[in-house]
Chains A and B, each alone.
Chain A
Amino acid sequence: AQSVAQPEDQVNVAEGNPLTVKCTYSVSGNPYLFWYVQYPNRGLQFLLKYITGDNLVKGSYGFEAEFNKSQTSFHLKKPSALVSDSALYFCAVRDGTGGYQKVTFGIGTKLQVIP
């Protein structure tokens, strides 16, 4: 079975500081990893994904994520946080091996950027 853990319910960061939202995963095969953001009363918006190749993935709105196979992690990062980045962030994983698998989402991390 595949799973995703987002160990922090909430992350607070000052505007202009770097931010990190943590995600660890568990799959039996090759991991396909995704980050989404959700603003209040909206659906999820795609930020970035890792399928294969370079461990550092760049995405929308200046976000990036680093895939670390040995630590089974896929942390989301941004060099300089904006107040408008305040939202709910979801990490997701799909097992890319052994046929078609569903996507499993983490429980979400609320990011609060303080002016």
Chain B
Amino acid sequence: KAGVTQTPRYLIKTRGQQVTLSCSPISGHRSVSWYQQTPGQGLQFLFEYFSETQRNKGNFPGRFSGRQFSNSRSEMNVSTLELGDSALYLCASSLSDGSTDTQYFGPGTRLTVL
């Protein structure tokens, strides 16, 4: 099976712009989670979707939003970009919404805000 794919792999934006990142989960996986990774903070949880419903949300401002489509693909959007939003954004998929499920990660989208 193909792994988790994320597009684009690299993005450069300027402050104030908005950006949309895309994640395609492993075929058959219905749960998608998003994380922000920065050197000083490690992985910070953004949100998690299962069957088009947001199950959990991390402590990020409302500028960060996401959604999941009926085919389980997910997008996250960041509006009014700030310099501090520069990070690696990782998407992970899992089979269902079970607590024992393993998350499988995509390669990430490297966002640079200038």
Contact = CB atoms under 8 A, between A and B. Distances in A.
Interface of A: 32, 34, 36, 41-46, 49, 51, 90, 94-96, 100-108
Contacts of B48: 102
B83 to A, nearest CB: 21
A43 B108 contact: yes
B42 A43 contact: no
Contact of B58 (A51, A102, A106): A102
Contact of B42 (A34, A90, A95): A90
B42 A46 contact: no
A15 B56 CA distance: 41
Interface size, B (range): 20 to 34
A43 B90 contact: yes
Nearest to A29: B99
Contacts of B105: 36, 43-46
B99 A100 contact: yes
A85 B81 CA distance: 36
A42 B107 CA distance: 5
B103 A46 contact: yes
B70 interface: no
Given A42-B107, A43-B106, A49-B102, 6 more contacts: A43-B105, A46-B104, A94-B99, A102-B56, A106-B42, A108-B43
The winner among B43, B97, B103 for most chain A CB atoms within 10 A is: B43
